[in-house]
Amino acid sequence: MKNKKLKEFGVYLLENIDPIVERHAGELIKIQPRWFACIRFDECKAIAAYGVSMHLECFTRGDLVPLDNYFNSCAEIKLDRGVGIRDVVEVALIGKQSLIGAATDFFKEQDDFLEFLQELEDYFVQVLTLTTDRYSGMLLSRLNAEHVRNKLLLEASRTVTSALDPDEVLSRLAEVLAGTVGEGCCTIFLVNPETGGLAPCAGFGYGSKECQSALQGLRLCASGNTLSGEDGKSYGFCSSNKASLSFADILPEAVRSGSASLFHITNSDRMVGVALVSSDLPGFTFDDATKELIGGILNTVAVAIESAAAARQTRRQLMES
């Protein structure tokens, strides 16, 4: 990257940055009021200073490393806010015009100014190429991820709600949730409306009979604090058979390490149950996207889960009467 005049200008401006920051902040508010008119001017100046400083560091270094660091630090934030590629390019061009405005006061000789403009033009070609390529790639990745998520939610809803038998509904749900992680396992606990405790009613992915027996013997209660769910709610648990005693240490540690998680199942603020999801992959931990996906699946099929739970309760009462 050719930076003879850029470096000269950058060294000077880093020592006298306030006027260009003030100008740049004003232009951001004027040209992009959607993003900048709604914040305090001091905040806008801080954003402007960050961007201008990044450009000046590139000028003095003669490379795009500061731009790369800048991109890594704020690209995800921009995407979260809904900032589009057009907005990002426009901000870059606003910065370019602010730099040209400051350069007209700095360069006294026309030849020096023209040489600076050529270097600046070449620099911004690289800036826009890198920014648009990477930002569009990240945006496309998010869109693809959202498409996959929506597809999984739709498939989960169809799979679970198409079952007629309540036990099949819950078994299918356990299979769907286990499928969200590699080598996944899932146990569905439902609330007993009489005691408030939670007992396992369906499971998927547990290979050994010992493991299945141990899980069948587990009982959760809302009054304990041994296990913490993703919603921040804590649960106690007890064992109803010898096999489940082995989980006394294993399960709390798995939840603490992130290799297993408890997901609250609610419908219209009514507690329906808990889904225990885990993976047998070594070193596995849940990421935010997987947690969000599981939460989305449970929200999508919450009505079907509550209906299945009610049907099971009714059937049990009829058998006992």
How far from the centroid of its chain's Cα atoms is residue 283's Cα?
Answer: 20
Average pLDDT, the chain: 84
Residue 28: per-residue pLDDT: 93
pTM strictly above 0.95 = no
Dihedral sign of CA atoms 282, 283, 288, 294 in order: positive
Give the whole-angstrom CA distance, residue 256 versus residue 227: 8
Domains identified in the chain and CATH numbers: 4-145 (1.10.490.20), 165-320 (3.30.450.40)
For residue range 44-67, list pLDDT tens digits in order: 999 999 999 999 999 999 999 998
pLDDT band at 252 (very low <50, low <70, confident <90, very high): confident
CA distance to 4, 99, 122, 207, 284, per residue, from 62 (Å): 9, 16, 12, 59, 42
Q: Classify residue 6 by burial, with Cβ atoms within 10 Å: 0-12, 13-18, 19+.
A: buried
